[in-house]
Homo-oligomer: A and B are copies of this chain.
């Protein structure tokens, strides 16, 4: 084995932290150096996550108690939105950082302020941050010190829609994204609305027309279109732990249909290890990607002329969070991109 990549995970007691540890357990070079979790400081990893009790890992510490970062190469930051900016701004320069919060995803700090309830605290740092949807920004990620890992909801729609808008095959206006997510996307906080009794055996929409992933989705669609674009985005909470399915309704341009769109995507993602384009007329299940870093995309012609229905599926904790973070780390460190990410989906 080559030299280890020494990893710090900030905010390691949430589901994303656990998932990073699971994936890094199969990485050929990753080594857990620091795990922080303020409310669980002093505890072992096994006390917080009994399923990881047998993993070689340091005990959890409070972030303020980390004074020496010299033994760390890469930081995964899983802290809550808004608290992340100042933490990252204070990290030493030698560290590569993948931030899994929303704090550096919006290039325009005014848009950030509007959606996140206050001014951005590190606007200079924001300028250097790269939005890390790996397949769409590989060279920028490779050159970055700070990567803003995409949100779980935008990942599938970006992969499906950006190449189609860029190529002019679909109308960038009027796109509707009906999204359905497993509950792990809401984190591990003890909230009434996340109890088993409140989540199982039922579904609902939430954050309708007001979810914070809206500006993130629109940022990428707008860049692809070369002008400002709005999209309808409606998230729904599903009675399951993992997985996001996005059903996207788009208007194809003249002469384009599902086959045309899929052909374009197939070319765009040829050779990509994690993005797979399905045969026309088929659409993916989230259970086909559970536990893996895959994003599956399918398309069907609607009965309404010109309309195409695209469906993407990811595991929100993997390609929608920890997996893409590891993928970005691999790119940033010049490692094989699939290292730590080659596990097959787990079914059932």
Give bound CA distance, A184 to B15, whole Å: 23
Q: Which of A2-10, A81-89, A101-109, A284-292 contacts B (4 or more CB under 8 A)?
A: A284-292
Residue of B whose beta carbon sits closest to that of A345: B51
- Given A204-B283, A342-B25, A184:B348 Cβ within 8 A: yes
Question: A304, B343: Cβ atoms under 8 Å?
Answer: no
A178 part of interface (Cβ distance < 8 Å) = yes
Mask, A96-128, CB within 8 Å of B = 1, is: 000000000000000000000000000000000
Question: A290, B203: Cβ atoms under 8 Å?
Answer: no
Mask, A306-343, CB within 8 Å of B = 1, is: 01010101000000000000000000000000000011
Question: A240, B242: Cβ atoms under 8 Å?
Answer: no
Question: A51, B287: Cβ atoms under 8 Å?
Answer: yes
Give bound CA distance, A184 to B346, whole Å: 13
Q: Which of B183, B199, B234, B283 contacts A309 (CB 8 A)?
A: B234
Told that A188-B197, A232-B307 touch, could you supply 12 new A-B pairs with CB distance under 8 A? A26-B342, A51-B285, A51-B289, A183-B195, A190-B191, A200-B348, A203-B285, A208-B309, A209-B300, A230-B304, A231-B304, A232-B302
Q: Which A residues are closer than 8 A to B by beta carbons?
A: 15, 18, 21-22, 25-26, 49-55, 174, 176, 178, 180, 182-184, 188, 190-192, 194-206, 208-210, 214, 230-232, 234, 236, 238-243, 245, 247, 249, 276, 283-292, 294, 300-304, 307, 309, 311, 313, 342-348
Selected A-B contacts with CB under 8 Å, 10 pairs: A15-B197, A18-B347, A22-B344, A53-B276, A196-B241, A203-B286, A206-B283, A208-B283, A214-B303, A232-B249
